Amino acid sequence: MTAVDTELQWLQCVRCDRRYAIGTYTFGCPSCFEAGRQGPLDFQVRLNDGVPASFQAAWDAGPQHNIWRYGDLLPAVDNPLSLDEGGTPLTLLDELSDELGLSVYVKNETMNPTWSFKDRHAAVNITMARQLGHTKVVASSTGNAGQAVAAYAALAGLRALIIGYPTSSELLRRVMQIHGANVVTMPKKEIGGMMRQLAEEHGWLPVGSSDPNPLASPYGVTGYKTIGYEIASALGKAPDTVLVPTGGGDSLYGVWRGLNDLRDMGLIDRLPRMVGCQTEATHPLLHALTRDSKEIEVQPEPDSLATSIIEGRCGVHALGAVYASGGTATAVTENELRQAIQRMASRGFFFESASLATIASLFRLHGEGYFRPGETVVCVITGSGVKWPDVINQVAPPAPHLEQPSIAALADVMEL
């Protein structure tokens, strides 16, 4: 497809600003792709004066399930798919807030139908795949995205292929198969080429990362805008800072775009700082920021507790959002992640370790004096810890077995 002028909805390259009609662009901006560079496409809606009536009604009602309530600012579709995703809790952490002198909230995306934020992405992405006439979708995933794609593809009646890494969650690979998806694993370095070949030669639509990696569907990223809508709606204002676990950067960018929508419509009067939370294992976003670079350099991808965000290359759209917001990025240690797991578990929450990069970063940045006293801070929690049994095995020992139960035997393994 060629670049065109559009009236109501269109795609626009975040790098070169070229506009395209709504359609399928497997490798992002065609112009940037031909030039050998990453060109993520951003979904845009032309807003007339004021707030669309149905969006205003959704805003006034507050966060509720089914993200298509915000359909005025999502792609126009005939039959949107939903498993009642969205409407997740925004929970004030009272004890932690008192400790840090802040108002600290967690946006708990584990409460989505497949227990992660990826349901928002898949609801829009798979709906658009079907709307555009595709019958087969393929995604690469450590777990969360693959489960969401498998679930929503099943709902849509589409075939799904999920390509995992050997280090991805075996539990989730089995769940994907129960949903009806085909699932295979292969070395991560081979996935981009495989997905490109599937797209070009066999008609599969990449709905996760493709080539260059990462380059996600602009429609899926639009689903993440609804996180921003819900945060501001629940607070009645924009927070001061939003911390987001960051691998490829789609969720960080999506939340930022959603908050921009609200500012443009006059529903909030300012924008927060965005913080991309990564690990010392690999942190391409922080690497770019510390060099004041507008480009992302590829970094190695060693093993980490935070498997879901171990991406050696972050998207330039996320980098641009951090710059535009006046935010920053972090790189936390494995020990800080373990401390965050225990800290939140002691308060009744069990989140995946990649999500807890936000809590670890909260403490890191607080110690560095990053936050103003009394600031409202939101940590986006993207997935449930129960999805990662291998991580659980690393941070918790097996429970003792009492072959001959007695009070004496129990006293040997715990304090009475």
What are 336-392's pLDDT values in tens digits?
999 999 999 999 999 999 999 999 999 999 999 999 999 999 999 999 999 888 888
Say how far apart CA 395 and CA 371 lie, in whole Å: 30
Look up the pTM and report it. Answer: 0.94
DSSP tag of 365: H
Strands of 5-123, DSSP E = 9-13, 19-20, 41-45, 90-92, 103-108
Q: Find all residues with CB under 8 Å of 91, minimum gap 6, and list them.
A: 105, 106, 108
pLDDT in tens, 215-263: 568 899 999 999 999 999 999 999 999 999 998 899 999 999 999 999 9
- Order across the sheet with 19-20: list the strands: 19-20, 9-13, 41-45
The pLDDT value given to residue 306: 67
Below-50 pLDDT ranges, the chain: 1-5, 210-214
The pLDDT value given to residue 258: 97
The pLDDT value given to residue 333: 93
The answer to whether 245 and 310 have CB atoms below 8 angstroms apart is: no
Residue with tokens 């498998």: 150
The answer to whether 28 and 40 have CB atoms below 8 angstroms apart is: yes
The pLDDT value given to residue 296: 82
Say how far apart CA 405 and CA 416 lie, in whole Å: 14
The number of C-alpha atoms within 13 Å of 371 and in the hemisphere containing its C-beta is: 26
CA-nearest of 172, 142, 120 to 301 is 142
- If phi > 0 it is left, if psi is from -120 to 50 it is alpha, else beta; for residue 50 that is left
For the CA atoms of the chain, what is the radius of gyration? 21
The pLDDT value given to residue 22: 96
Residue with tokens 């840090």: 100
